[in-house]
Amino acid sequence: MRRFFKWILLAVVLIIAGSAVAAAMQHKSPGSTNSPVVVTTTSSTTSSAATTSSAAATSSAATTATSSAATTTTPTAPQTFQGNGSENIGTINVSAQSTLRWNCPSCSGDNFIVGNSFNDNNQIDVNAEGPTSGQTVVDSGSYHDVEITTEGQAWTITIGAGASTTATTSTASSAAPQPGAPQTFQGDGTQNIGTITVPVQSTLRWSCATCANSNFIVGNSFNDSGTIDVNALGPTSGQTVVDAGTYHDVSINTEGQAWTITITAGG
């Protein structure tokens, strides 16, 4: 009988011990389950942030590119200045090669000069005596202390993007002339006529009826491979040989008035 009770007691102890172990394991399970959830959440958050950052960067780059393209294609608005007599109009910023056109109805028989600081990289070449209007090519850049000197009265200056070709009177385009086709340019006083392309070796002939006893100079950019050599004092006409090539910032400097330049292939 005693042995029977011992077995019963042992069985009860084993049952109690088994219940305690099961309870302990059930208590530990939630803790071990929570740990991967936290890691997954952290990983998901990081991935989301990276995706958001990448999308934002892509969107920003696209916006910047669109904005840049829009800025590039926006045409430059013309600049207009008006005054009376001699005047300093300060600084002018020219974003691209442009044409400066001037008009002074009361300047007939008088000088009309536009100049700028000698410290600038480029110069505005306007020095006319007699005409009431004219034009010149102006390279891109900043022009300081831009000064109009004249004995005339009301004047207007307009600067519009693009180098005008209205000084060319020949049927051939000055941008891409055909070999053999003459190029003719007309102007008045000091003027920059921009870029001239000479397809083959040619002869440049000039005439300036009012240049007797005055200088008549034709020059071009020092950076060009070739040079136009005209520097006359006194005569009213002349000629020089011009090699094939492209000549930039071709400037006529004279105290005379109306002049004509013709470039013809060969002699």
Strand partners, 230: 218
For residues 262 and 204, the answer to whether their CB atoms sit within 8 Å is yes
What is the distance between the alpha carbons of residues 242 and 228, in angstroms, rounded to a whole number? Answer: 6
What is the distance between the alpha carbons of residues 31 and 22, in angstroms, rounded to a whole number? Answer: 15
- What is the pTM (predicted TM-score) of this model? 0.58
CA distances from 46 to 55, 183, 227 (A): 14, 70, 66
pLDDT in tens, 28-47: 444 444 433 333 333 334 44
| Model confidence band, residue 214 (pLDDT cutoffs 50, 70, 90) | confident
What is the distance between the alpha carbons of residues 141 and 143, in angstroms, rounded to a whole number? Answer: 7
Report the alpha-carbon angle 101-232-217, nearest 5: 25
Average pLDDT score over residue span 48-58: 42
What is the distance between the alpha carbons of residues 220 and 232, in angstroms, rounded to a whole number? Answer: 16
For residues 84 and 114, the answer to whether their CB atoms sit within 8 Å is no
Name the range with the highest mean pLDDT among 30-44, 54-68, 171-185.
171-185
Closest CA to 125 of 184, 194, 226, 58: 194
Written as one string, the DSSP assignment of 209-229 is: TT-BTSEEEEE--TTSSS---
CA distances from 194 to 4, 116, 144, 155 (A): 125, 18, 21, 23
What does the buried/exposed string (b/e) look like for 199-219 if buried means 16 or more CB atoms within 10 Å of the residue's CB?
Answer: beebebbbbbebbeebebebb
Q: Order the strands of the 126-129 sheet from edge to edge.
A: 87-94, 141-150, 111-115, 126-129
| Residue of 240 and 174 predicted with greater confidence | 240
| Model confidence band, residue 18 (pLDDT cutoffs 50, 70, 90) | low
Q: Which fold has domain 79-265?
A: Jelly Rolls (2.60.120)
Average pLDDT score over residue span 21-29: 49
Average pLDDT score over residue span 172-198: 78
What is the per-residue pLDDT for 204?
Answer: 96
Q: Is the pLDDT of residue 84 over 70?
A: yes
Average pLDDT score over residue span 44-66: 41
What is the per-residue pLDDT for 129?
Answer: 83
Q: How far is CA 68 from the centre of its chain?
A: 12
- Give percent above pLDDT 70 in the chain: 65
| Model confidence band, residue 20 (pLDDT cutoffs 50, 70, 90) | low
What is the distance between the alpha carbons of residues 219 and 228, in angstroms, rounded to a whole number? Answer: 5
What is the per-residue pLDDT for 48?
Answer: 42
Q: Is the pLDDT of residue 121 over 80?
A: yes
DSSP for residue 118: T
The chain-wide mean pLDDT, for the chain, equals 76
